[in-house]
Amino acid sequence: MTFGQQPQPNPNYEPQGGHTLNAGYGTQPQPGYEYANAGQSQYGQANTQYTQYVGGQVPPQYGQPQYVYAGAGAATVNGQVAYSYEQAERVSVAKAYGEMTLGLIVTALVAVAAQVTGAYYYFLAATGVIGLIGLCVVQVGMAIVLGMRIQKMSVGGARAMFYIYAALMGFTLSSIFWVYDLGQIGIALGVTAAFFFALTMFSLTTKIDMLKFGPILMVALIVLIITQLVLAFIPGVSSMTRIVCAIGLVIFAGMTMYDAQSTRALFQAYESQGPEMIRKISILCALNLYLDFVNMFLYILQLFGNRD
């Protein structure tokens, strides 16, 4: 070869077994191979290295194709991420139910204290019906504010408001000790806890989507509230009251299943916004579950308890 003449490929050269081909003077890539630039050689010529044999097996000295190992690694990583996500979701749901349980404990302690000390009796004696209505309005207002402004509140502020709400509820519910004896209250509480647990486990394990029944449950709840307000001013309708209590129990059983699945859905929706938002959402979910439990308890107590 003289100076200035282009190198010609050797027609008799054939690659053996897909080995690495170093492109030197006069060597061209052969069909059926792909080459990757491996950098510049010391003579300024580009060295090419075998990456994948198209249409054949990878040579033993190059091991298995890289994409096989990458796929296995990705599958492992994805499995770990999925496991971590499911574990975080279970922890978040458990935290919401834990907050709910603490709220119920606060309610029970305040109710017993108000009954023992007579605080609720003295409050009604001093304020009358206006005080009772005002107490109910404050509780409803706190629940609405907590539900609407939970994202703008601090975690400590939201938690404090929830426990204050639970304490006010306990103060109001201390009146049940005037109507029912302790045995009936204890039985109703135990039945409610078992019923609530069964509904929660069913809703978290079933494939039935309870979220689509949300609008129906809300309409039924509004009708129930209006009906109870009307019956409160109509004397001599005790049989009708029991029917309404039975309907209310069914509605709040559905609300319990709805809120259980809604709790999981809310954590999935807000998990990307950080742990602080998750703590706020856990308090909001605890409030919803708390209200379901308290209302079911009251309906069960009215259905099966003997009024004094």
- The model carries a pTM of 0.70
Scored b (16 or more CB within 10 A) or e, 189-215 reads bebbeebbeebbeebeeeeeebeebee
Q: With contact defined as beta carbons under 8 Å apart, do 115 and 174 qualify?
A: yes
- Residue for token pair 């499995």: 79
Domain ranges of the chain: 12-58, 94-304
**235 φ, ψ to 5°?**
-75, 155
Q: What is the pLDDT of residues 18-61, one digit of tens each?
A: 444 444 444 444 444 444 444 444 444 444 444 444 444 444 44
Helical packing angle, 155-173 and 119-148, nearest 10°: 140
Q: What is the pLDDT of residues 121-158, one digit of tens each?
A: 999 999 888 988 899 899 999 999 988 888 888 989 99
Q: Is the per-residue pLDDT at 179 higher than 60?
A: yes
